[in-house]
Structure 1
Amino acid sequence: MSLVEEAKARASQAGEVVGLATRVSPISHGIDHKEIRAEVPFEVYLRKRFLVGSYIGIALPVSKTLVLGRITGVERADIMAISRIPALSPVEDTSGFTTPLTLIIQLLSEEVEGEVVPVSSPVDPQSPVFIPNREFISKMLGLPDQGIEIGKLTEGYRVLDVPVSLSLETLRHHVLVVGTTGAGKTNFLKVMITRSDVPLMVYDIQGDYVGLMAREGGTVLVPVPRSSGDKVTDFVQEFLRRSNLSNFRIVEQRERRFRLSDGERTFNLELMGFRLEDTYQLIPETSPFFSGQGAHFFRIATDNCLTDIDSWIEECGDVLDHYNLHKSTVDNILRSVTLLRESGILDVEMGGNRLSEPDYDQLLREKSVVDLRWVLEKGVSSATTAAFIIANRIFRVIDSAYKESGRETPFLLIFDEAHEYFPQSRKGDEEKEALERLINRIMRLGRVRGIGTILATHRPTDLNDLILTLSNTKVAMRADEDALERIGMGDYTETLQASPPGYGVLRTFSLKVQDVIFRADKYVGK
C-alpha cells in the first residue's frame, strides 16, 4: 500500500475523503503563514457543500499524522482559465466549469502520538483531504466533554451537532461576554444559569433574570431601600406585579423569607437589608465615597460608637476629634456618611423590624438572583454598593472555608451590565484604586478558592482594564468595531455584524485553537 493509500485509510477513520492537497503549486507553511491549498474533484463538489468557515481534515502521508483545518477561501476556475487560453468572445460551454474546486485551508491543529498540538509537520502534496466527523472536530479543537453547554459549533451558516461547553476550570478563570443590545447576551447567560450544576448568584439591575430564577425554583434576594413602605405583604405583591409573577402566591413565611408557588413551581423570596453595625468594616471597601484615610478612621470611630446610620454624625462625630485628623479627612468621612444615609440601603425597617442579611452559607448551596431594581431607584452607587457588600460576604465565607481546610467552594458570580459595577476610572483616582482592590479580591483571590466570575456588557470601552486582564475567556457577539477591538477581536467585526442573534466567537486558553465560532442554544423556560 502506498503512503497516500495509507493516509487515506487513516483519514477514513476520522471522516470522508473528498480530495487531495494540491499538486500544481508548492505547499509551504510556517509560523506566520498557516494556509495551504487543496483540490476537490468536480463530481465530489456536486455532492458536498464546502463553505467558507467549514472544518476540513488532512492526513499527512509521510509524518503519518492528522491535521484539522478550516476553509478560509474557495476558488473556481473555468478550463480556459486553467489552460490560459484567451476567450475571443463569451461562449457558453458547461463542460468548461467541470473543474476541481480549490480550497484555501487554514491549518489549526495536529494530532501527534495521541496529543493535539499546533501544526508543525510538512503538508505533503496529494495529502488526502477529508470532511471530519464530529468526534474528530471536538478532539482537535479541544472542546471539553463536560461543563456548561453553551451552544453548537458552526461552519459558515451551518450549525453542527458539535456541542461547545465551558468547563468548570474555564469558568473559574472568568468569562467576559461582549455584545450589543439584541445580540443574544441575555439569552446566553440564561442558558448558562439554567444548565449550571454549580451554585451561582446573578446580580440583576434590570429584572431580566428574576422570572427565570423564580421558574427554576431558585432564590430571589431583594435588597430593600428606605421609602419602600412598611407593609411587607404589599411589597411582596408589588414585587410579583413588576416581575410578571402575579400567578404566584405566598405558601409559607418565615420572618422576611417567603416560599411562593403557582401550583406547579415554587421559589424563595427574601427581603434583605444591611445594618451599619454589621457592615461598617465592609462598607469602605465597597462604596465609592471614602478616601483611604477616611475609610480607616471611619472604622475606628464606629468601633467606639456603634449606632445606626441616621445617628452616626450626631453620636460618633465627636469621636473623630480625639484623633486630630486633617480637616479634609474629617470632611470626607462626614460627607461619605451623609451619602451613605442618602443611599437608602442601610438600617432599613419594614413591618416594625430592621431588615438583615441572608444566610450566606445557604446561598452557597443554591442558585440565586439579587434583584437590584429597588435600590437602583436610589442611584447606581446604591445598587453597586449593595451588590459589592453581598459579593464580599460570599467571598469571606468561601475564604474562611479555604483557610480552615484548604477546601475550594465552586461558585459563580454573574454580573450583567458589568460596566455599571466595574467602570473605567481616571488613573490615580482613589475610587479606581478601591474598585481594583475589590476586583482583585473577587477575581484573583476568588479563583484560587473556587469562585468564577461571568461578566456581560455592551460597553467594554467603559469597563475597568483589570476586568479585561483577569477574564481569560472572552465571548464576542454582534458588536461595533470599537467594542470588539477593546477585547482584541476586531478581526471578527464584519463576520459578527452580519450575524443573527446568538452567533458568537469563543476565545479561551482551554482550547487547542485560538477561536471557535458557535451559535448559542436558545433559552427555553420552564
Structure 2
Amino acid sequence: MSNKASFLEHINKGYTTKGEYITLGAAMYQGNTEGEAHVKIPLKTLNRHGLIAGATGTGKTKTLQVLAENLSEQGIPVFLMDIKGDLSGIAAPSPGHIKIDQRHDQINIPFKAKKFPVEILSLSEQEGVRLKATVSEFGPVLLSRILDVTETQAGIMSIIFKYCDDNHLPLLDLKDLKKVLQFSTREGKEALEKDYGRISTASTGAILRKIVALEQQGADLFFGERSFDVQDLCRVDDDGRGYINIMRLTDIQDRPKLFSTFMLSLLAEIYSTFPEQGDSGRPELIIFLDEAHLIFKEASNALMDQIESIVKLIRSKGVGLYFVTQNPTDVPEGVLGQLGLKVQHALRAFTAKDRKAIKMTAENYPISEFYDTKEILTSLGIGEALVSALDEKGRPTPLAATMLRAPMSRMDILTPTELDKLISTSKLTKKYNETIDRESAYEILSEKIALAEAKEAKAAAKKERQKLEKTASRSSSSKTSATEKAVIKVLTSATFIRGALGVLNKLLK
C-alpha cells in the first residue's frame, strides 16, 4: 500500500462517524487536498469544548463562522463574541466568488450560499438586545471574586447580601450595593452590627473603591433589569435552524474586567439553570469566545479557579465552550487540558519566543507519521489548519492538515441599514430594551436615611428652640431683678429724703 493510500485509510477510519456530524473540510497530504478524505466532527462530542488558534490573518474568524453556520443548520443554537465587528454578515447570504468555487471543487463539497437566523446583542451602548443581570443574581461569592477582594472583605459582602435578604432590600444595580455599603457604616451601623457583627469602615471603603473601578469600565450598564434569560440563547427558527446570537463587543476591548464579568455571569447562570444532559448525542448550546485572552487578562487566582471549574462542569449541561485566540498559550493549562476539538491555523516564527511557542503547541497534538507538526504549523496557508478532535467514543482522531470549507454567508459586515432592520424586527429587542428602574435598596435606604435625617433635624430644632427659650427666660428674669433693685433704691432714697425733711421741719419750729 502506498503512503497516500495509507494516509487516506488512516483519515477516513479516524473520522468515520455513525451519528450526526459537521464537515469542516478535506484533509491535505504533501501539499495536495484529498477530496476523498473529509474531516467530520461528531455532534456528540462538541460539548467537550474546543480551541481555534492561529496568527493574525490566517482565517480563525472564518473558521468560527463555518462552525457557527453548520451548527445552526443542524438546529444547534450558537452564542459568539464579535470583538472585531466582522461577523454580522452571517445574517446575509454569500455573494459567491470564483475562489470559493475553486476551494470547494478541491475539497469535493458542494457550495450553496445561505443566510442564517441572527440576533444582535449588546453589552454596552451599541445597538442591539441589551444583556443585563442583577447584583443579587451574581451573589456575594462570584461578585467578590470579580472584585478581587480580601477574605475579610468577602465576608463583609456576604453579610451585606444576608442583611438585604433579611430586610427585603433588592440589590439590582451597583448603586444599590454602594448605598447599602455606605448605610452599613453610617445610619445603619448600630442595628446591622447588633445582628450581623462588626463591619470595618476601612473594608467597606476598599470594596467601594473596587466597585467604582468596575463602574468605570462600563459595568453600570450591565448591572440592572431586565435580567437576560439564558434560555433565549437556545431558540430555533421556524425552519428548525438554531439562532446565531452575536454579541457586539467592538467598544470594550480595552475593558477586560467588564468582559470577564459578563462571561462569568453568563456561564454561572447557564450552569445553574440548564438541566443535566448526560450523553444526549448533540449539544444544547455552543459558545465561541473570540479574543479569549481578554477573559484571562488581569484575572485573579480566585477568578481563574472559578473559570476552570465552570469549564470542567458545564459540558454536562450540553454546553460547549470554544476559545478563539492567537496562541494556545493564551489559554491557561487547566482550561487547555479540557478541550476536545482543536483547530490550529498557522503560527509565525519571527523570534526565539515564537519558535518556543510553536514547539510547545506542536507537543499538544497527537504524533503523526504523515506530518512534521512543527514544520507544518509555519507553512499552512490561509483557510488551512491542523485539526484534532474526538470521535464518538471520546478518542482523539488522527491529526489532519485540513483545507477548510468557505462560509456560506457573507464574509463581511451588514450595512447600517441592514443592521438597523435586523435589530428593529427582533422579538428580543422589544423584550429587553425597555428601561426599568423599580424601587430597590437604593430608593428604600435613601428614603429611610431622609426620614432619619428629618427626624434628627426636627429634634435638633426642638433642642435649639428650648435653648433659646431658656436663655430668653433667664434674660427676662435678670431684667426684672435689676428693675426691682432700682425701684427699691429709689424708694429707699425717697424715704430717706422724707425722713430728713421731717427732722429739718422739726428743728425749724
TMscore range, shorter length = 0.5 to 0.7
Q: Are the equivalent residues in 2 in contact too, given 1:223–1:374 (CA < 8 A)?
A: no
CA 1:403–1:461 in structure 2 vs 1: closer, same or farther (change >3 Å)?
closer
CA 1:446–1:492 in structure 2 vs 1: closer, same or farther (change >3 Å)?
same
Q: Does 298-307 or 183-192 show the bigger shift?
A: 298-307
Q: Are the equivalent residues in 2 in contact too, given 1:286–1:438 (CA < 8 A)?
A: no
- Aligned partner of 2:292 in structure 1 is 418
Q: Does 364-373 or 380-389 show the bigger shift?
A: 364-373
Report 1 or 2 for greater relative contact order, CA contacts < 8 Å, sequence distance ≥ 6. 2
1:191 corresponds to 2:66: yes
CA 1:191–1:285 in structure 2 vs 1: closer, same or farther (change >3 Å)?
farther
Q: Are the equivalent residues in 1 in contact too, given 2:383–2:404 (CA < 8 A)?
A: yes
- Over the aligned positions, Cα root-mean-square deviation in angstroms equals 3.4
1:317 corresponds to 2:197: no
1:220 corresponds to 2:120: yes
- Aligned partner of 1:171 in structure 2 is 46
Matched letter for residue 243 of structure 2: K
Alignment of 1:57-76 (within 5 A): 68=6, 70=7
**Number of aligned residues:** 346
1:436 corresponds to 2:305: yes
Which one of the candidate residues 516, 519, 524 is aligned to 2:400?
516
- Aligned partner of 1:156 in structure 2 is 30
- Aligned partner of 2:4 in structure 1 is 55
Q: Are the equivalent residues in 2 in contact too, given 1:184–1:502 (CA < 8 A)?
A: yes
1:361 corresponds to 2:251: no
In 2, Cα distance between the equivalents of 1:477 and 1:282? 38
Residue 147 of structure 1, CA deviation? 1.5
1:383 corresponds to 2:264: no
In 2, Cα distance between the equivalents of 1:277 and 1:271? 18
Long gaps (5+) in structure 2: 93-114, 165-169, 236-241, 349-354, 365-371, 411-509
Q: State the SS of the aligned residue for 2:182.
A: helix
Q: State the SS of the aligned residue for 2:220.
A: coil
Q: Are the equivalent residues in 1 in contact too, given 2:21–2:40 (CA < 8 A)?
A: yes
- Aligned partner of 1:273 in structure 2 is 132
Residue 205 of structure 1, CA deviation? 2.1
In 1, Cα distance between the equivalents of 2:132 and 2:374? 44
Deviations 1:252-280 (A, max 9, x none): xxxxxxxxxxxxxxxxx412333334444
Matched letter for residue 217 of structure 1: P
Matched letter for residue 223 of structure 1: L
1:468 corresponds to 2:336: yes
Q: State the SS of the aligned residue for 1:487.
A: helix
Matched letter for residue 452 of structure 1: G
In 1, Cα distance between the equivalents of 2:60 and 2:45? 18
Residue 379 of structure 1, CA deviation? 1.4
Q: Are the equivalent residues in 2 in contact too, given 1:179–1:476 (CA < 8 A)?
A: yes
Residue 359 of structure 1, CA deviation? 2.8
In 2, Cα distance between the equivalents of 1:216 and 1:392? 28
Q: State the SS of the aligned residue for 1:287.
A: helix
Q: Are the equivalent residues in 2 in contact too, given 1:147–1:166 (CA < 8 A)?
A: yes
Q: Are the equivalent residues in 2 in contact too, given 1:177–1:476 (CA < 8 A)?
A: yes
In 2, Cα distance between the equivalents of 1:408 and 1:498? 34
Q: State the SS of the aligned residue for 1:316.
A: helix
Identity %: 17
Long gaps (5+) in structure 1: 1-16, 19-53, 57-67, 71-131, 229-234, 240-268, 426-430
In 1, Cα distance between the equivalents of 2:23 and 2:277? 32
- Aligned partner of 2:17 in structure 1 is 144
Q: State the SS of the aligned residue for 1:310.
A: helix
CA 1:202–1:281 in structure 2 vs 1: closer, same or farther (change >3 Å)?
farther
Residue 495 of structure 1, CA deviation? 1.7
- Aligned partner of 1:493 in structure 2 is 374
Q: Are the equivalent residues in 2 in contact too, given 1:174–1:453 (CA < 8 A)?
A: yes
Alignment of 1:253-332 (within 5 A): 269-281=128-140, 283-284=142-143, 287-305=146-164, 306-307=170-171, 308-319=173-184, 322=193, 323-325=197-199, 329-332=203-206
In 2, Cα distance between the equivalents of 1:348 and 1:185? 29
Higher helix residue share: 2
Q: State the SS of the aligned residue for 2:268.
A: helix
1:482 corresponds to 2:356: yes
Q: Are the equivalent residues in 1 in contact too, given 2:27–2:38 (CA < 8 A)?
A: yes
- Aligned partner of 2:316 in structure 1 is 448
Matched letter for residue 440 of structure 1: S
Matched letter for residue 55 of structure 1: K
Q: State the SS of the aligned residue for 2:387.
A: strand
Residue 180 of structure 1, CA deviation? 0.4
In 1, Cα distance between the equivalents of 2:67 and 2:78? 10
In 1, Cα distance between the equivalents of 2:64 and 2:138? 30
- Aligned partner of 1:100 in structure 2 is none
CA 1:402–1:459 in structure 2 vs 1: closer, same or farther (change >3 Å)?
same
Higher strand residue share: 1
CA 1:356–1:210 in structure 2 vs 1: closer, same or farther (change >3 Å)?
farther
- Aligned partner of 1:525 in structure 2 is 409
Which one of the candidate residues 505, 509, 513 is aligned to 2:386?
505
In 2, Cα distance between the equivalents of 1:378 and 1:291? 25
Q: Are the equivalent residues in 2 in contact too, given 1:309–1:347 (CA < 8 A)?
A: no
CA 1:210–1:500 in structure 2 vs 1: closer, same or farther (change >3 Å)?
same
In 2, Cα distance between the equivalents of 1:397 and 1:407? 20
CA 1:492–1:407 in structure 2 vs 1: closer, same or farther (change >3 Å)?
closer
CA 1:327–1:168 in structure 2 vs 1: closer, same or farther (change >3 Å)?
farther
CA 1:181–1:492 in structure 2 vs 1: closer, same or farther (change >3 Å)?
same
Q: Are the equivalent residues in 1 in contact too, given 2:24–2:67 (CA < 8 A)?
A: yes
Provide the TM-score with structure 2 as the length reference: 0.60
In 2, Cα distance between the equivalents of 1:468 and 1:309? 34
Q: Does 358-367 or 480-489 show the bigger shift?
A: 480-489
- Aligned partner of 2:500 in structure 1 is none
Residue 476 of structure 1, CA deviation? 1.8
Larger gyration radius, structure 1 or structure 2: 2
In 2, Cα distance between the equivalents of 1:206 and 1:303? 41
Residue 515 of structure 1, CA deviation? 1.4
In 2, Cα distance between the equivalents of 1:286 and 1:409? 29
- Aligned partner of 1:77 in structure 2 is none
In 2, Cα distance between the equivalents of 1:474 and 1:414? 13
Residue 286 of structure 1, CA deviation? 6.5
In 2, Cα distance between the equivalents of 1:182 and 1:137? 30
Q: Are the equivalent residues in 1 in contact too, given 2:69–2:408 (CA < 8 A)?
A: no
Provide the TM-score with structure 1 as the length reference: 0.58
